[in-house]
Structure formats: C-alpha cells, structure tokens
Amino acid sequence: MAITGGSRFPAGHDFVFPRGALVMGVEPVLKFQSAEERAKGLPVEQEKDKETGQLVWSVLVIDQAAERKADAAVTVKISAPHQPVPPEAIPGTDIRPAMFEGLTVTPWIDDKGCRGGHVGERHRCRAKLGYSLRATGMKAIVAAKPAPKAA
C-alpha cells in the first residue's frame, strides 16, 4: 500500500470547518528539549517541517461546528518562513474568522486512554482516533456582497 503512517491527506477548509474557524492566536512550535539539554543551557530551537524544511507555527482555532465544547479548540500547524499573521478582527470584537489554505489532515491513534490489565484482568481500551491539521497559510474570509435589489 502506498499510504504510510504520517501521510497528509488533502482536505478542503469547508470540509474540516463547515461552520467556520476563528483564530485565537499564533505561536512558534518549539522542539522538545531534554533535561540534559536544558541543563547545558542549549537554546530552544523552533521545529521545522519534515517535508518543506520551513518553520512550524501553531495556530489556535475555535471550530464553530464542534459538537462538544471540549472539542472546539483545535490547533492548525502552518509551515512558513515567517510567523503567519491572523486576519483583522471584526470591528468591536476579538473574533478573527479565517480560511485555511492547503489544509491537510493526518489521522493518528490517541492511546492514552488504553490501559493494559494486570494478569487475569481484562484489557480496557479507550483509544480514539485523533487528527493533526496542517495548512500552507491562512487568509481573511471575504464577505459576500449582497445582491443588488431589483427595481
């Protein structure tokens, strides 16, 4: 099979965020640093995308179509040479609607809820499917102009 673990599947913005996405902030994704590296005083480096070599940025997003409040906050990672700038907020609010370009989805298994039983105990697995979202960029949503009134 040509599909390998970590494959990024193209997905349209409207498929992933059917009711829209609100950007809450953007920050760099930092590489993991071991205790030994921290003790040596080594500087923390920003993560680079394995496919493009560009810097990786984490965009905190509110998914307006989330069924549960706990699922509303998601992260979209953007690979870019410079920090992406969120769209302007709607005047008088902190709401920043955005559309993601080049959006991809990578499925993964979240097995933190999976517990191996002791000898003689039944295995209880509450693993679930998770998704990692990546994009090539984000832009402001352009409001559709109202149709002219018929005379």
Q: Is 104 in contact with 133 (CB distance < 8 Å)?
A: yes
Q: Is 17 in contact with 65 (CB distance < 8 Å)?
A: yes
DSSP-derived pairing of the beta strands 21-28 and 114-115: unpaired
98, 58, 81, 17: CA torsion to nearest 10: -30
What pLDDT shows up at residue 151?
57
What pLDDT shows up at residue 54?
95
**Per-residue pLDDT tens for 101-141?**
999 999 888 777 776 666 666 667 777 788 899 999 999 98
Range with lowest mean pLDDT among 13-27, 63-77, 131-145:
131-145
Q: For the chain, what is the radius of gyration of the CA atoms?
A: 20
Query: What pTM was estimated for this model as a whole?
Result: 0.78
Query: In the predicted model, is pLDDT for residue 145 greater than 60?
Result: no
